[in-house]
Amino acid sequence: MYFSDLGNQSSTKNQLIDLFKQSRVPHAILLSGASGCGHLQLALSFSALLLCETPNENDACKSCSSCIKYEKLQHPDLHLSFPIHLSKAEHSEISDDRRELFVSSLDKFKCIGKKTWYSTMGNENKQGVIGVKESQSIIKKMNFKSFFGGPKILVMWLPELMNLQASNKLLKLIEEPAENTYFILVSENKNKILPTIYSRLQNIAVPKMELSAVSNFMVKNFQIAEPESNIIANLSGGNLNKAVVYHLNSGDSGLNMTLFVKWMRLCYSRNIADTIDWVNELSKMGREQIKDFINYTLEMSRQCILGNFYIERREVKEEEENFLKKFQPFINHKNISQINTLMNDAYYHLERNANPKILMLDVSLQLYKLLRK
Ligand SMILES: [Zn+2]
């Protein structure tokens, strides 16, 4: 992960690059922002720049021996710390025991949210912890000589999940760090960091990502076409983690489902301004994709009817089932035939080159009425 992979995520990126250029990089930085704001990516890209032997103006060179080591996050002077699940019997695990899993998840998702990480470790509902053994390991590692002779960096993701004992152990190290060491802490909830730790950090607030930055990130990291990336960005509301999950689920019905849920909510609440935005985004998808989405809507309507008659649904995924259970009363024997006709007509007109924006807005307005029948 380099700055160039972050797309047009700009303000914090420039702030960090300026600190670097002016040789004013604080030894303990806190990047704080909401989940999915891209701060972990910023921390890792900044680490690459700090470790690079021949950095460019705005980014690591990607070709020196340090950058080559950094490529798969295998650089021996880049230490990663993150919450893990501690088993009951064995409380001696440290992040390094899970580093390979963490790095491969990062490689797959390009960013990582708490839920994704917890479920990767085997239980999405179990909170991870940064424990005291981890602090001991950090102290040891950060006091070693650097492997490459350059700086040593610790990137800690979610320092708010450090327990009290672990936090207290790290205090001294953060206050009086060894020479040429950097701590970059990446927090989603800075208020939960122990105040004595917090006061030793230079806080940089990372704003929520612009939708265009999320879209750009998706294009760069997942090689998807722009209309789709714009839709994903829009649905994500600027949360990178959500965008990635939408994308990875969209292989089959994920994107369609996300679109469908949002559409039905908008139509039911008769939110005209947001419906227009939604239609504009949808229209940017290709005609074939919109037709595919119409087919999906027809299928979901049929599934609602099955549910209304207590017939077991077999072909739906778990998240679809969860939504349909709540939503099925709104598509029923009173409106199903009109909804069917509406969707089939829309499909017919799309095939005959109707303007998708006008068509889908009209379909939405008709759904406003039908869903209230
Ligand atoms: Zn380099």
Condensed to tens digits (0 to 9), the pLDDT of residues 151-208 reads: 999 999 999 999 999 999 999 999 888 889 999 999 999 999 999 999 999 999 999 9
- How far does residue 295's CA lie from ligand 1's centre (Å)? 50
Q: Which residue has the higher pLDDT, 42 or 87?
A: 42
Sign of torsion over alpha carbons 257, 263, 264, 266: positive
- How far does residue 235's CA lie from ligand 1's centre (Å)? 36
- How far does residue 82's CA lie from ligand 1's centre (Å)? 25
Residue-wise pLDDT for 240-299, tens only, equals: 998 998 888 765 567 888 899 999 999 999 999 999 999 998 888 778 889 989 999 999
- How far does residue 145's CA lie from ligand 1's centre (Å)? 20
- How far does residue 49's CA lie from ligand 1's centre (Å)? 7
- How far does residue 244's CA lie from ligand 1's centre (Å)? 28
∠ CA 146-150-155, rounded to 5°: 75
What is 3-205's CATH superfamily? P-loop containing nucleotide triphosphate hydrolases (3.40.50.300)
- How far does residue 185's CA lie from ligand 1's centre (Å)? 23
- How far does residue 144's CA lie from ligand 1's centre (Å)? 22
Distances (CA, A) of 26 to 13, 38, 50, 55, 367: 15, 20, 12, 19, 56
- How far does residue 38's CA lie from ligand 1's centre (Å)? 22
- How far does residue 63's CA lie from ligand 1's centre (Å)? 5
pLDDT class of 93 with cuts at 50, 70, 90: confident
pLDDT of 181: 95
- Partnered with residue 28 across adjacent β-strands are 183
- How far does residue 5's CA lie from ligand 1's centre (Å)? 15
- How far does residue 46's CA lie from ligand 1's centre (Å)? 12
Sign of torsion over alpha carbons 186, 192, 195, 196: negative
Percent of the chain with pLDDT over 90: 68
- How far does residue 60's CA lie from ligand 1's centre (Å)? 5
Token pair for 257? 């489902």
- How far does residue 66's CA lie from ligand 1's centre (Å)? 6
- How far does residue 298's CA lie from ligand 1's centre (Å)? 53
Query: Is the overall model pTM greater than 0.85, yes or no?
Result: no
- Give start and end residues of each alpha helix (H) in the chain: 11-21, 39-51, 65-71, 99-109, 114-120, 132-143, 164-175, 195-198, 211-222, 226-236, 240-249, 254-269, 272-283, 287-308, 318-327, 336-351, 356-370
- How far does residue 27's CA lie from ligand 1's centre (Å)? 21
- How far does residue 55's CA lie from ligand 1's centre (Å)? 6
- How far does residue 9's CA lie from ligand 1's centre (Å)? 21
